[in-house]
Amino acid sequence: MSEQATLGTAVVTGASAGLGKIYADRLARRGHDLLLVARRAELLEEVAADLRAKYGVKVQTLAADLAAAGDLERVAKAVSTDASITLLVNNAGLSTLAPVAQTTAAQLQSMLDVNINALAHLSHTVLAAFKSRDRGTLVNIGSVLGFHTLPISSIYSGTKAFVVAFTRGLQDEVAGTGVKVQLVLPAATATDIWELSGVPMSALAEGTIMAAEDCVDAALAGLDLGEPITLPSVNDAALLATFVDTSAKLFGASQTSKPAARYLATA
C-alpha cells in the first residue's frame, strides 16, 4: 500500500483562504488527497487547481455555506459516505467583534450556525465513521478567546468556549481507541477574518500577530507530537498543564451538597 493511500483523504472546511488554505497546502504536501469546503466557489477552485499542480494529489471541492442547513447536510453526507476520509479539519469560522448591543441578530445567528452548529454536526458525523473503523483524526480549530473574553468578543468567545468544552469531551470519549482528536487554540493570526470581523489587524499590538503559515505548521507539529491541545503561540507548556489541572480541581471542589461557608454567614 502506498503512503498516499495510507494517509487517505483530508477534509478541510473554510479552505479558500486563511488557515484553511494553508492546512490544505500542508496536508497535500504530506500526501493527503483532499476534499475542500468553502463558500466561495471560485476561490476554492483556484486553491484546488494550484494544489493539484504542485503535489499531484486528488483534490475535490464542495462549495457550501455551513450556516445554511441544506449545505451543511450536503457536506455531512459527503463526509459520512466516503470511506477514504481519515482526517477532518473543522476550520471554518465567523467573527464579528463588537459589543452585543451593536451586533445584529443575523451576525449573531451566523456565528452560532458556523462556529457551533456546523462544527458540532460535522464532528458528530465524522466521528461515527472514524469509530466504526477505529481510525481517523479530528482537528477542531478554536481560539484562545475560548477561555478569555473581551468587551467586543462576548459572542465569539462564547462560541469558541463551546469548541473548547465540546472537543475536550470528545477526547475523553475516544480515549483508548485508534481515533485522535486535537483542539487547536490560535491567538491573533494574520488572516482575512480580522477585516471581516470589523477589527483591522492594524489595530492590534505590534508583535502579537502570527503568520498563518507559522500557526498551521505549529498546529501540525503539535498533532505529530500527540498533543490533545495545541496553543501555537504559547511557549511555556506548563501554563496549559496548570490551567487544565486547576480546572479539574475547581470542578472537584464543586462536588458537595452544602453551600460554601461564606453563603451561610448570618448577619
Mind listing the pLDDT tens digit for each residue in 12-64?
A: 999 999 999 999 999 999 999 999 999 999 999 999 999 999 999 999 999 99
Residue 202 has pLDDT above 80, yes or no: no
Is 265 a domain residue?
no
Q: Provide the annotated active-site residues.
A: 156
The mean pLDDT value for 140-150 works out to 96
The mean pLDDT value for 80-106 works out to 96
Number of domains in the chain: 1
Is 244 a domain residue?
no
Rounded-to-integer distance, Cα 33 and Cα 51, Å: 10
Task: Report the range of poorest mean pLDDT among 20-29, 52-61, 66-75, 188-197.
Answer: 188-197
Q: Measured on CA atoms in the order 39, 40, 45, 46, is the torsion positive or negative?
A: negative
**Residue type, position 45, single letter:** E
CATH, residue 11: 3.40.50.720
What pLDDT does residue 1 have? 40
Percent of the chain topping pLDDT 70: 92
**Residue type, position 163, single letter:** V
Domain of residue 48, residue span: 3-235
The mean pLDDT value for 196-205 works out to 64
Eight-state DSSP code of residue 209: P
Is 220 a domain residue?
yes
Contacts for 196 with CB less than 8 Å, ≥ 6 apart: 94, 95
- Do residues 230 and 184 lie in contact, with contact meaning Cβ atoms separated by under 8 Å? yes
Grouping H, G, I as helix, E, B as strand and the rest as coil, residue 189 is strand
Is 16 a domain residue?
yes
Is 38 a domain residue?
yes
Is 257 a domain residue?
no
Is 255 a domain residue?
no
Is 178 a domain residue?
yes
End-to-end, the C-alpha distance of the chain in Å comes to 76
